[in-house]
Structure 1
Amino acid sequence: MAKFTDRAVSTAADHAHPDARRGRGAVSAVRSRYDTETRQREDDGWDNLETADPLRTTLHLDSSRSIIAWNKSPDIPFDRSINPYRGCEHGCIYCFARPSHAYLGYSPGLDFETQIVIKPDAAALLRKELAKSGYRVATMSMGTNTDPYQPVERDQKITRSILQVLLETRHPLGIVTKNHLVTRDIDILSEMAKLDLVKVYLSLTTLDRQLARKMEPRASTPPKRLEAIRLLNEAGIPAGVMTAPMIPAINDMELENLLEAAWQAGAREAGWVLLRLPYELKELWREWLQEHYPDRASKVMKLVQESRGGKDYVADFGGRMRGEGAYADLIAQRFGKAIKRIGFNERRLRLRKDLFRAPPLDDRQGMLF
Structure 2
Amino acid sequence: MLVVRPAGPADLDALIDLAGLSGPGLTSLPKDEATLAARLRLSAASFGGEVARDAAWYTLMLEDSDDGRILGLAAVRAAIGLDRPHFSFRVITLAQYSPTIGTRFNHRALVLVNECTGWTEVGSLFLRPEARAGGAGSLLARSRYMLIGAEPQRFGETVMAELRGWFGEEGTTSPFWEGLACKFYRLPFLEADKMVSSTNGQFIVDLAPRHPIYVDLIDEDARAAIGRCHRDGEVAMAMLRREGFTPSGLIDVFDGGPTVSAPRDAIATIRGGRVFGVMIEDDVERAETALVSTGAIAGFRAIRATVSVRGDRAVLDRAGAAALGVSAGDMVRVSA
Please report the TM-score for the alignment, with normalisation by the length of structure 1: 0.26
